[in-house]
Amino acid sequence: MGWVQQAAGQRAGRGLSEGDLVQEGSLGLMKAIEEFPASGRTDFEAFAREQVAEHMEQAIAQEDSAQEESRRLVQAAEDYQLAEFSLRRELGREATPAEIAAKLEWPQERTDAIAGMVVEARRRHDEDLLNYLDPEDLDLDGLLSGAEDAADHQAGQKGTNGGGPSPSQGSTSTEK
């Protein structure tokens, strides 16, 4: 088992943790134990080391592939959103899926799949935001009156370089 850990240490930092590599190496060792009698080989340690290394390398390759696929999907989603926003500005309306596909030079099927992922990501983002902004926890009256106070303050600032209202502006008090 020591050489499984050694092999994992040599491969650490290549996409999988050392612990994950030890686990994969252990699976390779179990496979070696199971397959050695039928292998026709005479040196178990050499056979086992090959199986351990093979399992670790396959796991690293699978992780690399998954990471690359993830990067491509993120890039496709970003490209989709840019095309969607760009077309909205150009056309003055929401673009159709066919227009977005044409702009991206993608097949309609790919455009629809990426659009579905973008819509789902937006929905989840909105849900998370709504959960964070629980209306029961918000002081909506305070927020709204704060916005009105800021607007009143800005109106009072115009033409006075930060002082009070000029005589021509009159009073900004809200006395009734």
Residue ranges for the chain with pLDDT beneath 70: 134-144, 146-176
Report d(CA 17, CA 63) in Å as an integer.
Answer: 11
Q: Which residues, 6+ apart, have CB-to-CB distance to 16 below 8 Å? A: 24, 59, 60, 63
3-class DSSP state for residue 170?
coil
Cβ contact 156:165 at 8 Å: yes
Q: What is the pLDDT of residue 173?
A: 43
Q: Which of 115, 124, 110, 119 is nearest to 96 (CA)?
A: 115
Tokens 């790919």 -> residue? 110
Q: What is the pLDDT of residue 133?
A: 74
Residue ranges covered by each domain of the chain: 2-132
